[in-house]
Structure 1
């Protein structure tokens, strides 16, 4: 018998691979809580809109995933997203570990973990290498990401 929680996570990642933000959003509960090192914590429609924004801007994107594991109403997975960071044109290979909580067949919590300094070195080049590990630069990255999301949501009328 197939594991419905593993199938849900598989569906989420297949949608991600296909740049299908609506498919990803359909895997989320309306009260989703998403967290990662760049955006911090997002709730509800913010999380779905983050994927809509990111995937609409995706350039030279590919995703591999695997190691999906489930236990009760939790799941975990590993993925590697490769893409061109549009503001600098630099290629990023982001190695991500994800944890999920599931309720009623939908993801209610999604936490992505990755090395923000490693990400900033790839995305920003020398500036990221020299300063990407500092709280000041990391705070600026988060602020810019949140501002971009707010602008995207405003334009969408979300």
Structure 2
């Protein structure tokens, strides 16, 4: 197992344990993160997002939380992982099973430089928001609004932490 695969295993093992500090340490200072809900730059934002999400999950109790990962592959510069999260979406209190494919690039030191998660947003929105997600989840405007809301939530969270 190479250094970059070890970084991914450390990252997802920490995520399963809701250990955002260890997750954040897996990223380079100038790392970027992208998924349907977030577009982030720098360890402060990326690590802040993981802290926010882990804190929210811990605050509701871990009863509904479970993370599974597999298919960890990495070479000297790129990597891939498959992961699945089971949790209760805090807004609608609905149970979600999200299936994600992750792509990475790494620094020479074995830290995550770029991280891009892809998942079926419409599937996620149907689970997380019910009928509203079913009707609106496929519309680009809905996704855009969600990104704005997650940006506001992260900005408020980071302001409280500094």
Shorter-chain TM-score tier? over 0.9
Structure 1 stretches of at least 4 aligned residues deviating more than 2 Å after TM superposition: 40-44
What is the match of residue 122 of structure 1? 127
RMSD: 1.0
Post-superposition Cα deviations, 1:72-96, rounded to whole Å, max 9, x if no partner, equal: 2111000000100011000111100
What is the match of residue 11 of structure 1? 10
Matches within 5 A, 1:58-137: 58=57, 59=60, 60-103=64-107, 104-137=109-142
- Structure 2 gap ranges (5+): none
CA distance in 1, matches of 2:132, 2:150: 17
Count of aligned pairs: 156
What is the TM-score of this pair, normalised by structure 2? Answer: 0.93
What is the TM-score of this pair, normalised by structure 1? Answer: 0.95
CA distance in 2, matches of 1:137, 1:111: 20
The answer to whether 1:154 aligns with 2:121 is no
Once structures 1 and 2 are overlaid, which stretch shifts more, 34-43 or 50-59?
Answer: 34-43
- Structure 1 gap ranges (5+): none
Q: How far apart are residue 3 of structure 1 and its match?
A: 1.2
**SS of structure 1 residue aligned to 2:91:** coil
